[in-house]
Structure 1
Amino acid sequence: MAEGVNQQPAVKAGVSPADVGGGVRTAVGGAGAVFRLFLEVLRGVFRRPFQFREFIEQSWFIASVTILPSALVAIPFGAVVAMQTGSLVQQLGAEAYTGATGVLAVVQQGAPLVTSLLIAGAAGSAVAADLGARSIREELDAMRVLGIDPIQRLVVPRVLGMMLVAVLLNGLVSIVGISGGYVFNIMLQGGTPGAYLMSFGALAQLPDFIMSSIKALIFGLIAGVVASYCGMNPKGGPKGVGDAVNLGVVLTFLLLFFANLILTAMYLQIVPPKGS
């Protein structure tokens, strides 16, 4: 009599609880490492000697790779916002507030986000690539052996430079975006200069511009810290540098949108709308 063959049940391919737990631990550990780097950067700002020359050089480099793209993006962005908001307010019968809606959309949301995305994409990738190349060449370890803190020497000037340029670019994008929206509103939507400016003055207030600058400052800080962390911790040699750059850009984008949500909610709760 033939003996029956015991067949083992097939193991279904999938994600095990151990894999999920490992991923969560890795994410939490990475978040903690980024926060620790932020604290070290904050401490390094007040340590002497301050690397002023490195700060100027990095600020100039960051500005040189972001000014032209920011201006080119701001023109169509302001025009699109003006046309879209203008069309909506006209459908609602509030043509008198076309200028205010377009300007506030650019100042409160558009300019900080456009600036931060360009800072993260252009400057952040360059910073991550530079620090990653130094890391795989063991320059950072050599600096530590010589008693030089690479965070104070390299990271702090780059983070402060990204914060400074982010605030300046935010003003540039706001001006260019508002100007582009103004021109398109007058030329394509039949608006008048007086009505555009009057509606802007009726709803806009000084805290709107202050909050826009604060957002840009915080976004520049986030982009600088994340790019520096990813650049200082590449894995896998030269290929790991490219992976670190891509990871830094993606993480920065996610954190920027999350931070924008929190800052916007806080602002709307603290500062009441004008005329309310």
Structure 2
Amino acid sequence: MTAPAPITRALTPVGRLFGLGVAVVRNAFRPPFQLAEFIEQTWFVTKVSALPTALFTIPFGATIALLLAELTRQFGAQSQTGAGSVLAIVQQAAPIVTALLISGAGGSAVCADLGARTIREEIAAMEVLGISPIHRLVVPRVLAMATTAVVLNGLASVVGVAGGYYFNVIVQGGTPGAYIASFSAVAQVSDIVVSEVKAFLFGFTAGVVAAYRGLNPPPGPKGVGDAVNQSVVISFVLVFLINLVLTGLYLELVPPKGS
């Protein structure tokens, strides 16, 4: 029994996207390694994403700190403000902010570049010459986005925690010792590890989506623009879905500190 045509049309791009992700992983370990292209793409993605990530994380961390400070004050648990805000920033806010800006800045550029190459038939010419576009073009860009996401996630975590500390302690008059002590009592190394794992997977996903839409754009320059918009939207949706799954697994598998 065959699936209805609308279901088939909907699932076909999903299968191709997953297949591209598998192909990227397989080609990442196949020599020759495109080191120069990887370094160039890493620098480009870092250049367009680093400053927006830092600037965007400051209000994000401040909002979390201010909200948690108000909630803990209502319940008489001001001493736990540091633990709640720092864990929320490290585990959730930092990787999400990093993924959104990597997708919007780096992913859109990757999609536009590959889309322009596709409509100019450069990709087809490479295939005729026996050169794999995935190995030559896609793998360095996807790995660059994933690597940059890990680095920028560390930056976002530091900036977000510093911003949360400033607004909670300086602006709202909180106690510095209580803020730091509550965080130290609850936080553990696995919180940083899961944050970096999220960032890597988010960056990898955004890179694969951008590459897929860039290699399969609608015809014409307008089609490339549409593909860029689609890649950003799809990346956002997948990032939030992956974050939900990883957060659920982490809470189920990793016991809280002191339990």
TM-score by length of 2: 0.97
Q: Per-residue displacement from partner, 1:150-196 (whole Å, max 9, x unpaired)?
A: 10000000000000000000000000000000011112221121111
Q: Percent identity?
A: 59
Give the drift of 1:24: 2.2
Q: Per-residue displacement from partner, 1:109-138 (whole Å, max 9, x unpaired)?
A: 000000000011111000000000000000
Give 2:237's aligned amino acid.
Answer: L
- 1:24-43 alignment to 2 at 5 Å? 24-43=7-26
Give 2:37's aligned amino acid.
Answer: E
What is the aligned length?
257
Q: Per-residue displacement from partner, 1:46-74 (whole Å, max 9, x unpaired)?
A: 11100000000000000000001001101
Q: Per-residue displacement from partner, 1:137-158 (whole Å, max 9, x unpaired)?
A: 0000111111110100000000
Alignment partner of 2:117 out of 120, 134, 138: 134
Is residue 45 of structure 1 aligned with residue 12 of structure 2? no
Which residue does the alignment assign to 1:180?
A: 163
2:131 is paired with a residue whose SS is coil
Which residue does the alignment assign to 1:151?
A: 134
Which residue does the alignment assign to 2:86?
A: 103
| Structure of larger gyration radius | 1
Give 1:40's aligned amino acid.
Answer: A
- 1:1-276 alignment to 2 at 5 Å? 21-276=4-259
Give 1:266's aligned amino acid.
Answer: L
**Take 1:269 and 1:188, find their aligned partners in 2: how far apart are those partners?**
36
**Take 1:67 and 1:128, find their aligned partners in 2: how far apart are those partners?**
19
Give the drift of 1:22: 3.6
The 10-residue stretch of structure 1 (208-217 or 84-93) with the greater mean CA deviation from structure 2: 84-93
Give the drift of 1:29: 0.3
Q: Which runs of 5+ in 1 are unaligned?
A: 1-19
Give the drift of 1:222: 0.4
Which residue does the alignment assign to 1:15?
A: none
**Take 1:115 and 1:22, find their aligned partners in 2: how far apart are those partners?**
37
Give 2:210's aligned amino acid.
Answer: A
Q: Which runs of 5+ in 2 are unaligned?
A: none
The 10-residue stretch of structure 1 (81-90 or 185-194) with the greater mean CA deviation from structure 2: 185-194
Q: Per-residue displacement from partner, 1:33-52 (whole Å, max 9, x unpaired)?
A: 00110111111111110000
| Shift >2 Å, 4+ stretches | 20-24
**Take 2:156 and 2:59, find their aligned partners in 1: how far apart are those partners?**
11
Give 2:77's aligned amino acid.
Answer: A
Give the drift of 1:274: 1.6
Give the drift of 1:275: 2.6
TM-score by length of 1: 0.91
